[in-house]
Each structure stands twice: as C-alpha cells, then as structure tokens.
Amino acid sequence: MLGINCVIVEDEPLAMERIESFVAKVSSLNLVKTFDNAIDALLYLKQHPVDVLFLDINLGEMSGVQLAEQMPRQTAIIFTTAYPEYAIKGFELNVTDYLLKPFAFDRFYQSIEKAIQRLEKIVEPSKVPSFIFIKTEYRLEKVNIDNILFIEGMGDYRRIHTKSMKIMTLQTFKDFEQELELTSICRVHKSFMVNILHIKSIERDRIYIHDKVIPISETYKSVFSEKVKK
C-alpha cells in the first residue's frame, strides 16, 4: 500500500527525532506534520484527517488518550509511550498498536504492517450492497437493507422483520452473514441478526430495537461492539 499519510504527536524531542527517522525508512509513509501537543494536533486533524497517527500519551494539558477518543474510527492509531499501564485503554479504543518506549525499528515496522492491514479493510461505500434478494416460497423478494430491522431464527426458517412486512425463508444465518458482511447488519446471537441503524438502545447484554428485546451472546459480543463503534 503506497501513499500512507501520517502525523506524529510527541512532546519529547529525542523521541520525536527517533520516530521521524523510522518513518523516513518506510517508503510508503508520508509524514505530513508533527506536533508537540495534542491540542494543536486535534485542530489540524479535524480539518486534515490522516491514515496513521503516531501518538504519545502524556502530552500535558490534553492527553493522547483524549485525542485518540476524538479521532475517526478509520484512523490507524499507534500509541508510542513509556507507560505500559495504558495498554488496556488502548485496547478499549481499538488502537492499531501499542509501542512501548524505547522500541527498535523492527518493532516499529510491525506496527506499520498492522496499520496497513487495517487500512486495506476499509471498504468504499460504493462496494456496500444496498439491497438483497431473499428466497421465499417460489420467488425472490427484493428487500432494501435499510428497511431490515432484524432477522430471527425460527427452527429451520429465518424470519426477516422489515419496516413494512415479515418474510420467511430457508436461507441460513451463514448465508446472510456472508451476504451482509459489509452492511450495518450484524450477528448478535445464534438466533438473531440486527440492523444497528434501527437500534433504540443497548443495555448490558440486551438490544432494544423496534418493539423487540434481543439478547447479545458472549460469542458475538466483540464483533457487535466493533460494528457499533464504526
């Protein structure tokens, strides 16, 4: 992957110099800007989003964690810090990597490979389907994905609940998961898929959607959480 724009936010001059030298060794990286504080970085990044953000955590008035919380999900954030205790917070923020100072170039390059993998998974909106055909009885029913509320398992059948009707089909959840992978519809339980666009609220392990309360099982919790964050 070529032309990866990145920004460094680091208040230690020696650490900044080291990261800049590492970035210069990777031909696909394009260093757009550097900052020694999170506030100036935030003002810039709001107007000029980048692909990768190398981010220190202890930055004074505004922390790197606070800055990361305001970044779009598609930004690959790589924490660069001397403090291991923020690793859990990094996981909660779904950062791409967590580099513990002092780190060598080979470890730095591993984080770049992770960032590239993440960026390559970003899907262009034009590739996301807007409708599907559902096999029901002797016909194929065209259904707009935005109109689907949730899909419910009922023995050998699946019932698709839409805004205007309910459709019964023998298509499996596996079929729907493959066909709807890039959409707003997500598996949350062995017997349910939901359209996150129509969720009213989420309370612990329950989803409130339309007039239905749908459970979230442990098996699908992490995938669902990631989908909701996007």
User: Mean per-residue pLDDT for 4-10?
Assistant: 96
What is the Cα–Cα distance from 157 to 12, expressed in whole angstroms? 60
Q: What is the CATH code of the structural domain delimited by 4-120?
A: 3.40.50.2300
pLDDT of residue 86 exceeding 80, the answer is no
pLDDT of residue 106 exceeding 70, the answer is yes
- What is the pLDDT at residue 91? 76
Domains of the chain: which residue ranges? 4-120, 127-229
pLDDT of residue 117 exceeding 70, the answer is yes
Q: What is the CATH code of the structural domain delimited by 127-229?
A: 2.40.50.1020
DSSP 57: S
Residues 87, 88, 92, 96, CA torsion sign: positive
What is the Cα–Cα distance from 96 to 65, expressed in whole angstroms? 13
pTM of the model: 0.55
pLDDT band at 181 (very low <50, low <70, confident <90, very high): confident
- What is the pLDDT at residue 124? 58
Q: Closest Cα partner for 158 from 123, 203, 189?
A: 189
pLDDT of residue 126 exceeding 80, the answer is no
SS3 122: coil
pLDDT of residue 189 exceeding 60, the answer is yes
User: Mean per-residue pLDDT for 200-216?
Assistant: 93
In this structure, of 36-40, 77-81, 117-121, 123-127, the range with the lowest mean pLDDT score is: 123-127
The torsion angle over the Cα atoms of residues 151, 152, 156 and 157, rounded to 10 degrees, is: -50
What is the Cα–Cα distance from 67 to 127, expressed in whole angstroms? 31
- What is the pLDDT at residue 123? 55
**Inter-residue long-range contacts of 101-110, CB under 8 Å, 24+ positions, other chains counted:** 101/15, 102/18, 105/22, 105/25, 108/19, 108/22, 109/22, 109/26
- What is the pLDDT at residue 1? 52
